[in-house]
A and B are shown apart, each in its own frame.
Chain A
């Protein structure tokens, strides 16, 4: 039997019950789509986060809220205050280059009819030099701005572009969460830094952010830049000591803060990613399994329904192997077609999620496309083989009599 003819026959066989074939195909689309989007999301997140860790710099420490365990429940303890930053800096002027306290919040930034939903980042003057993040036009926030809680803002590149286009932004008044701010500068294009797309944020003085905007007492984060990467252990020790004194923690009690190094965060993230990976891949795998069961079910029904046809084919000279091939090819067409559409659907789904949430960055590795198609064919063959064997084993005499 010729292969082209075989494929045409298989397609006609599938056309005979288009609805059922379509439903089986949808099963595969969902299965493969789930795999592709899971991989895209995971790979994207991994890349994104690792990039950000890299951008943090190996000489930096990150101090965040501590953890408290109470009756098996872990909760975070907010304890970091702006004053901690100054204390750390004063205690270890040689070990520590800069300290950058930060408060992050969501914000709508508006200029007349234009508005951007982004982040509002409250920082001190140390933020820009610490991250080698430069002002493109205008100036950055100064110590005086922080002291005076002035209503000034430095816009991220993307925000400035969205609100003003090609027009100059500096000197204009924008509204951030309804409050009026004067634009004093626009940052360079940077992309992501410290887990955020900094192009999509408005930077304001820390004090303004905490008291006048969000009414918060505690920082979201404290970045510490050590004199060198080798000084990190000593730095950590110093920061810890200072904060314990500042927070009046008695010896023997636990810290109410957590200090991470870049390396530690990477490792922690890798662990989290692993767990997420297992969960995502399991769900995707189950979807694929369901898709495979769908194909098998359709093929079994198809074999039963076409018993007479199989009998006729055997009577007019089909070998059992020809029948086996016919049904295997039918299953493979469903799975390959579903697989191809599934790759597209998965990729679209991942991108949609990425666009929609603005948090997830997705990356679809080219290898996954090939892997998905191979996987799809594998699913088709595995789920089609049993029905195909059943078809091929039919006794022609019995098959011809089948009602």
Chain B
């Protein structure tokens, strides 16, 4: 469970201050699959870094699984990232020149438990890479690399999976395979927060949060009907037009007439 109240993140760029996040409230219950969509600079990545305990907010409070991030020491935050959060990145961020297994082992090295490579092998099996354990990232396809990254993210069995444009560097077919794994993990009870700017990826979540200029501009529950509707829209209309129409439609509503006309 994630509860953010009135969080802001400001960066200083020379004399000016960039408000990457501006007084945002967000509550994500346990087990939900949420996508955060927005153009670059909308604050979606900043949001993810704050949820992922990689950074402290400038103001406001964030609770991850009932623990206040602001009150946490650097050590405690590291432990939280290690045990309860799994990260997946657009560029995979695997350590090159080491094998798939060595990459998946990394989070295990920072747990306070006794070390064993067994969970890493299991995690690689889980993403269907049991035969690629000894392969290096340079010897694998993008989709395989991303699956290694997912294995690394889930090796400590976290409750929360944070994915930052996980399909951004992949073709549609491979992207679908990755999303299938994400759906499976969600089905197993994992909370998933997925940051993307691709609408057809975003609508696969149960809930879609749209961000712009550091604020949440739309928070939509997505069911099958809504999903089809948005996808149609997305294919037919310009994205900015969609954004304008859905601005105040937190749930499915009849489509605006001009949209239907098209």
Contacts and interface: CB of A to CB of B under 8 A. Distances in A.
Q: Do A and B come from the same complex?
A: yes
Contacts of B229: none
A317 B89 contact: no
Given A317-B79, A317-B82, A396-B55, A312 B115 contact: no
Most buried by B among A311, A316, A396: A316
A315 B74 contact: no
B52 interface: yes
A400 to B, nearest CB: 7
A244 interface: no
A172 B189 CA distance: 102
Given A2-B115, A5-B115, A316-B110, A397 B54 contact: yes
B110 A400 contact: no
Interface in A301-348: 308-309, 311-322
Interface in A111-141: none
Contacts of B52: 315
Size category of the binding interface on chain A: 20 to 34
B140 interface: no
Contact of B83 (A6, A317, A397): A317
Nearest to A6: B109
B111 interface: yes
14 contacts: A1-B110, A5-B109, A12-B98, A15-B97, A312-B106, A313-B110, A314-B78, A315-B81, A316-B107, A317-B111, A318-B110, A319-B79, A395-B55, A396-B54
Tell which of B75, B109, B111, B152 has the most Cβ of chain A within 10 Å.
B109
Contact of B109 (A2, A16, A395): A2
Given A316-B82, A317-B82, 19 more contacts: A5-B109, A12-B98, A312-B95, A313-B110, A314-B54, A315-B54, A315-B81, A316-B81, A316-B87, A317-B156, A318-B82, A318-B110, A319-B110, A321-B75, A322-B78, A322-B109, A322-B110, A396-B55, A397-B55
Given A312-B93, A317-B110, A400-B89, A12 B102 contact: yes
A313 B103 CA distance: 10
Interface of B: 49, 52, 54-55, 74-75, 78-79, 81-83, 87, 89, 93-98, 102, 106-107, 109-111, 114-115, 152-153, 156
Nearest to B153: A316
B49 A316 contact: no
A319 B78 contact: yes
Interface string A1-40: 1100110010010011000000000000000000000000
Nearest to B108: A5
Contact of A308 (B54, B93, B106, B114): B93
